[in-house]
Amino acid sequence: MTGRRPTSRAASGDGAGSRTAGRSESGDAAARLAASFGFEEVAPPEKSGRVRAVFDSVAGRYDLMNDIMSMGVHRLWKEAMLDWLAPRAGRRYLDLAGGTGDVAERLLDRVGGRAAVVLADINVSMLEVGRDRALDRGWPGAVRFLAADAQQLPFADAQFDACTMAFGIRNVTHVDRALAEIRRVLAPGGRFLCLEFSRLVLPGLERLYDAYSLSVLPVMGRIVAGDASSYRYLAESIRRFPDQDTFAGMIRRAGFEQVRHRNLSGGIAAIHSGWRL
């Protein structure tokens, strides 16, 4: 087992941990996500190809853009997820939709390289950037890079003590299938931590946030990554992603227990935690 068992503090719900999202609400949310590519309605089988094209296009500039568009704050959010996970040496970790390896690198740093980490992502361009980065920087310990789809993981049951996923779930076509797969590959007592953009909880920020993400981000994307439309997709997909409680409902529906969330930066992002007990 990895990380801390839910404590009374976590159980009290740092981020509400409300159970208001019903089964049908979370089922509807999964169906809506499967049929949307940003604000565009698409046939579900089309979505993964469109998402793949986004990350093929931005892979080379992905890390730089992350720093510029979040003014470095994405680093703090990832550290917050790892704080909550509290990784330990000797455990087995899956960093799903791990992309260029930001989370895997931080995780390995925290345990001095003494954990088995698999970084899985559907996109080979993103994995290649991550692998080069691991070689260039000399990450501590070993990480296995694997091309894999979160909806159909190539692992036997109960292989991992914890699974992290940062800014990945929103891009998956069938979120319910991915959540079921994550639960399947976690050992009993294992934990899922998911960092994703979420819904603002601080009143008064919406206008500024909308203007920034829907108007400024695509321009930045064009200037820095030579691609406005991928960053338009990013902003739109955030709007399409369910709010904190609805997503918590989807995680519960997949069979996770002790599901809680913590808001970050007023709800711009949130971390959800669930246990496979």
Ligand X SMILES: C[S@@+](CC[C@H](N)C(=O)[O-])C[C@H]1O[C@@H](n2cnc3c(N)ncnc32)[C@H](O)[C@@H]1O
Residues lying near ligand X in the complex (CB under 6 A) are found at 51, 55, 97-99, 102-103, 121-123, 126, 149-151, 166-168, 171-172
- Residue closer to ligand X (CB basis): 115 or 172: 172
CB of 98 to ligand X, least distance (A): 5
Q: Which residue has the tokens 């998956």?
A: 172
- Residue closer to ligand X (CB basis): 6 or 213: 213
Q: Would strands 143-147 and 186-197 be described as parallel, antiparallel, or unpaired?
A: unpaired
CB of 202 to ligand X, least distance (A): 23
What count of other Cβ atoms lies within 10 Å of the Cβ of residue 267?
A: 19
Q: Would strands 186-197 and 92-96 be described as parallel, antiparallel, or unpaired?
A: unpaired
CB of 7 to ligand X, least distance (A): 26
Please say whether the beta carbons of 198 and 268 come within 8 A. Answer: yes
Q: Identify the three-state secondary structure at position 56.
A: helix
Q: Identify the three-state secondary structure at position 132.
A: helix
CB of 11 to ligand X, least distance (A): 27
With CB atoms as reference, the residue minimizing the distance to ligand X is: 99
CB of 155 to ligand X, least distance (A): 13
Please state, in angstroms and rounded to a whole number, the distance separating the CA atoms of residues 172 and 97. Answer: 9
- Residue closer to ligand X (CB basis): 26 or 164: 164
Please state, in angstroms and rounded to a whole number, the distance separating the CA atoms of residues 117 and 62. Answer: 22
- Residue closer to ligand X (CB basis): 115 or 163: 163
- Residue closer to ligand X (CB basis): 153 or 248: 153
